[in-house]
Structure 1
Amino acid sequence: MQSTPLVPYARLPRAYHGHHVAGSTVDAFGRAHWLLSEREPQGHEPYDAVVVTVDGTGHTTTDLSSVESRFSKFDALPDGGFVVANSRSPRDEERQVQVFDTLGRESWNFRVGDAIEHLLVDESGALWVGYFDEGIFGDPLSAPGLRRWSVHGEALWTYDWRATGEISDCYALNVHGTDAWACTYHLFALLEVRSGPGTTVAHRNTIRGATALAVHGDRIAFLDHARLITAELTGGEVQRLDARGLTRPDGSPIGRRRVVSRGPRIYVQAEPRTEWAVLDISG
């Protein structure tokens, strides 16, 4: 099988390589962020963290105080603040999502439901949250499978399964502008969500198991483990075109990884989580 190498995108400055990586992401504007602590948090005590942000001009840091999350979902807000969320949340845990301002102070906290698989902030500052099965079948807030929340914890949009089928697990989520695309279990339809009118369109899809996707016009790419599947959206149906391997920039296997899907790009972070690489289908 032929392979496509990723392209290097962003690198954590070497001075921070000894820190524990509690979370990392690429935001709606293409900036890479690392949520770091001096050591891996233990127990349930809050800890201090630093966010290192890397863009095309260099890097900046933001100190966060009293971070609660142990299994962090993490993203940046358009105003320079940050969102840190615990992926697992008992129903009485009100501080599951913490919003930090530009000075690193907690300004808001709320709960969005158990079993967060994906948390992506869009260009307006709203939070798109996709859930996995333990939350969908065990927590009323998570039950729809996909929701959009305000930065103050208000539900802005909730997926309605009656129109396009139930979500049992949100495998892949792509947020671009203020809209989203998702690939979900068990029907694996490709869901297109337009936030403005609040409409959802389900495109027929036979490609199963993708954990990341890129969309550019009618062109689509799915990442299924280390396999890259290209496709075309035609007449409301996803038509498979090609399959090939996806490797690190040096051609080696990716291995364990973190992925972020933003429009035509899939960002991939492999161990030891100090670098981001990218696949861009818009070229």
Structure 2
Amino acid sequence: MQKSALVPHARLPRAHHDRHVLSSTVDVFGTAHWLLADRAPQPRVDAFPLDVLVVSVHPGGDIELTELSAVRARWPRLDRLPDGGFVVAAARTLESVDQVQVFDALGRETSSFSVGDAVEHLLVDEAGHIWVGHFDENPAGIRRWSPTGHLYWKSDVASIPGLFDCYALNVSGTTAWACPYTDFPLVEIRPGRTDLPVKVWANRIRGAKAVAVHGKQVAFYGGYGEERDRLAHGEVNETSVEPTDVGLLTLPDGSLPGRRQVVGRGPRIYVQAQPFTAWGVFDLSS
């Protein structure tokens, strides 16, 4: 089976390797971010909120440090706003506690709100909208929020078949792509369009955890069981995605990632494997 190797994208500076990685992501502009604590929080021992550090590595290699005060999320999702601020959200909700915190570029909290339990994906677009994809313990599906907690768009107004779990979510520009369980269609979401804000294509590739899109070309990464490291290519026609090729996606050294996390951004799929100090990228457009 043909193998495609990730290309190194960004690495956490060695000076910060003694800290614990709470969360990490790659934003819509390609900058990698790590949310770091002094050590791994211990359940029922450590008090929250915590003061944490965000280390940002820009595509050109410049490093930026931002201290965030009083972060409440124990299992956080992280992304950056276009104005230099950050969004931190708890994957699970707690009663009477706002789940999402928004910080300005100086690390000060400016707003907080809740988006609902079971957050699988949290991705900010170029306009500063916050896209949230939920897993199956919350039927909300996919929603788009403002940084002040205004709900701009929700998937239950669209005819998306079998949306019980947002397996894959890709946000690039102001467009989102999704591949949800149970039917795994390819879904394009453009809330600003009045003619056809949501397009849906039938898809036979099951279980992907990330999707990349470039013109009519699509790549799906991940799957069930032995297909965990699968990289499946397809081509979009009028009504469906037709599979064209199947291979494996590996780390830059050719090994398989094992435990990993992924982020989809347009034609790119970013992959980070344990110990979560480096991001690699697969670019469908290259």
TM-score, normalised by the number of residues in structure 1? 0.95
Q: Report the residue type matching 2:144 in the other structure.
A: R
Matching residue of 1:122: 125
Q: Report the residue type matching 2:67 in the other structure.
A: D
Matching residue of 1:139: none
Structure 1: which 5+ runs fail to align? 137-142
1:57 Cα shift?
A: 3.7
Q: Secondary structure at the match of 1:135?
A: coil
Distance 1:195 1:161, change over 3 A: closer
Q: Secondary structure at the match of 1:134?
A: coil
Matching residue of 1:80: 84
Contact 1:94 1:109 in 2 (8 A): no
1:165 Cα shift?
A: 2.3
Q: Tell me, in whole angstroms, the C-alpha distance in 1 between the residues paired with 2:246 and 2:207.
A: 14
Q: Tell me, in whole angstroms, the C-alpha distance in 2 between the residues paired with 1:166 and 1:243.
A: 24
Q: Secondary structure at the match of 1:109?
A: strand
Instruction: Kindly indicate whether residue 66 of structure 2 is the aligned counterpart of residue 70 of structure 1.
Output: no
Matching residue of 2:138: 135
Contact 1:93 1:111 in 2 (8 A): no
Q: Encode CA deviations 1:244-273: one digit per residue, 9 max, x unaligned.
A: 111100001111101000000000000100
For residues 1-283 of structure 1, what are the structure 2 equivalents within 5 Å?
Answer: 1-42=1-42, 43=44, 44-55=47-58, 56-90=60-94, 92-136=95-139, 143=140, 145-160=141-156, 163-197=159-193, 199-224=197-222, 225-283=228-286
Q: Tell me, in whole angstroms, the C-alpha distance in 2 between the residues paired with 1:95 and 1:155.
A: 15
1:37 Cα shift?
A: 0.5
1:161 Cα shift?
A: 5.9
Contact 2:264 2:270 in 1 (8 A): yes
Contact 1:48 1:63 in 2 (8 A): yes
Q: Report the residue type matching 1:135 in the other structure.
A: N
1:218 Cα shift?
A: 0.3
1:149 Cα shift?
A: 0.4
Q: Secondary structure at the match of 2:51?
A: strand
1:223 Cα shift?
A: 0.3
Contact 1:176 1:263 in 2 (8 A): yes
Q: Tell me, in whole angstroms, the C-alpha distance in 1 between the residues paired with 2:273 and 2:96.
A: 31
1:187 Cα shift?
A: 1.4
Q: Tell me, in whole angstroms, the C-alpha distance in 2 between the residues paired with 1:45 and 1:168.
A: 32
Q: Encode CA deviations 1:121-166: one digit per residue, 9 max, x unaligned.
A: 0001100000001122xxxxxx3x0100000010000113662324
Q: Encode CA deviations 1:178-214: one digit per residue, 9 max, x unaligned.
A: 0101000111111110121261111111111000010
Q: Encode CA deviations 1:94-146: one digit per residue, 9 max, x unaligned.
A: 3210001111011110000000010000001100000001122xxxxxx3x01
Distance 1:218 1:162, change over 3 A: closer
Q: Encode CA deviations 1:224-247: one digit per residue, 9 max, x unaligned.
A: 121100110012210001111111
Q: Tell me, in whole angstroms, the C-alpha distance in 2 between the residues paired with 1:269 and 1:76.
A: 18
Matching residue of 1:140: none
Structure 2: which 5+ runs fail to align? 223-227
Q: Matched residue pairs, number? A: 275
Query: What's the % identity of the aligned pairs?
Result: 55
Q: Secondary structure at the match of 2:144?
A: strand
Q: Tell me, in whole angstroms, the C-alpha distance in 2 between the residues paired with 1:181 and 1:93.
A: 32
Q: Secondary structure at the match of 2:159?
A: helix
Q: Tell me, in whole angstroms, the C-alpha distance in 2 between the residues paired with 1:163 and 1:20.
A: 41
Q: Tell me, in whole angstroms, the C-alpha distance in 2 between the residues paired with 1:57 and 1:211.
A: 28
